[in-house]
């Protein structure tokens, strides 16, 4: 997908908090924020920092109607996942979109990535169980507290999830507010352990 020279310059996320995947330069595996107040999800793994060319690929996927890029991003993610020896879950689930947003974009980029990861890793993909019941405003520049308030009660478990350990797939992990809200909901509905998988992580 990339020549050897370009591949070596991809913005790999080499040192990050093992709990929230926030890039940091400390000597511990867990950042201070997670030590003082651990998120509701159990682990987070992101393969890259949200920097070019990965950020460009994600933007083209989402905003330039290029769903085929999801396969390339999934392949890159799966390579890093295997190399870093991340424990695999029983199943995958993706961050859902509200029906109004889905009509505008035409596809859910997180579901496209999850679909390819499901095939690459031979893991079932749970669909239809987690829905976004309430539309939310665009959150690009919002803080964690603003995002948390915006996302409150926006997700709903529509039918039972038959797995105890799942990974939630998203394109970009920003503040972790989305994963936090979803973890709160699905852990009330039978899921014991939730990993968060993001292609990229912002600082």
**What CATH number should be reported for the domain holding residue 166?**
3.40.50
Asked if the structure places residue 96 within a domain, the reply is yes
Asked if the structure places residue 16 within a domain, the reply is yes
Residue-level pLDDT at 140: 63
Residue-level pLDDT at 7: 78
Question: Which residue shows structure tokens 């990229």?
Answer: 200
Strands, E assignment, the chain: 43-49, 91-94, 125-126, 130-132, 155-157, 165-173, 193-201
Asked if the structure places residue 92 within a domain, the reply is yes
* Interhelix angle 177-186/144-151, nearest 10 degrees: 40
Asked if the structure places residue 144 within a domain, the reply is yes
Asked if the structure places residue 195 within a domain, the reply is yes
What are the tens digits of pLDDT across the range 127-163? 999 999 888 776 666 677 777 777 888 899 999 999 9
Which conformational region is residue 190 in: left (phi greater than 0), alpha (psi within -120 to 50 degrees), or beta? left
Asked if the structure places residue 5 within a domain, the reply is no
C-alpha–C-alpha distance, residues 192 and 42, integer Å: 9
Helix (H, G, I), strand (E, B), or coil: what is residue 187?
helix
The list of the chain residues with pLDDT below 50 reads none
Q: Sheet of 165-173: strands edge to edge? A: 43-49, 193-201, 165-173, 91-94, 125-126
Residue-level pLDDT at 110: 97
Asked if the structure places residue 2 within a domain, the reply is no
Residue-level pLDDT at 146: 76
Helix (H, G, I), strand (E, B), or coil: what is residue 155?
strand
Complete DSSP assignment for 83-131: HTTPPP-SEEEE----HHHHHHHSS-HHHHHHHHHHHHHT--EE-SSEE
Instruction: Please tell me the pTM assigned to this model.
Output: 0.92
Residue-level pLDDT at 74: 97
Domain limits for position 43: 12-201
Give the total number of structural domains in the chain.
Answer: 1
């Amino acid at each position: 997908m990339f020549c050897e020279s370009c591949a070596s310059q991809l913005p790999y996320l080499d040192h990050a908090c093992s709990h929230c995947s926030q890039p940091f330069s400390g000597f511990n595996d867990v950042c201070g924020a997670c030590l003082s107040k651990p998120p509701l999800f159990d682990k987070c793994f992101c393969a890259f920092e949200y920097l070019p060319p990965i950020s460009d690929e994600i933007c083209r996927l989402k905003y330039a109607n290029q769903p085929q890029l999801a396969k390339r991003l999934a392949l890159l993610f799966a390579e890093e996942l295997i190399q870093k020896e991340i424990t695999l879950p029983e199943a995958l689930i993706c961050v859902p979109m509200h029906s109004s947003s889905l009509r505008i974009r035409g596809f859910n980029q997180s579901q496209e990535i999850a679909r390819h990861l499901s095939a690459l890793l031979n893991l079932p993909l749970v669909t239809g169980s987690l829905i976004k019941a309430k539309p939310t405003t665009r959150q690009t520049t919002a803080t964690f507290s603003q995002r948390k308030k915006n996302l409150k009660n926006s997700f709903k478990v529509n039918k039972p999830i038959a797995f105890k350990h799942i990974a939630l797939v998203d394109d970009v992990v920003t503040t972790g507010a989305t994963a936090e809200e979803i973890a709160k909901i699905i852990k009330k509905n039978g899921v014991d352990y939730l990993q968060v998988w993001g292609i990229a992580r912002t600082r």
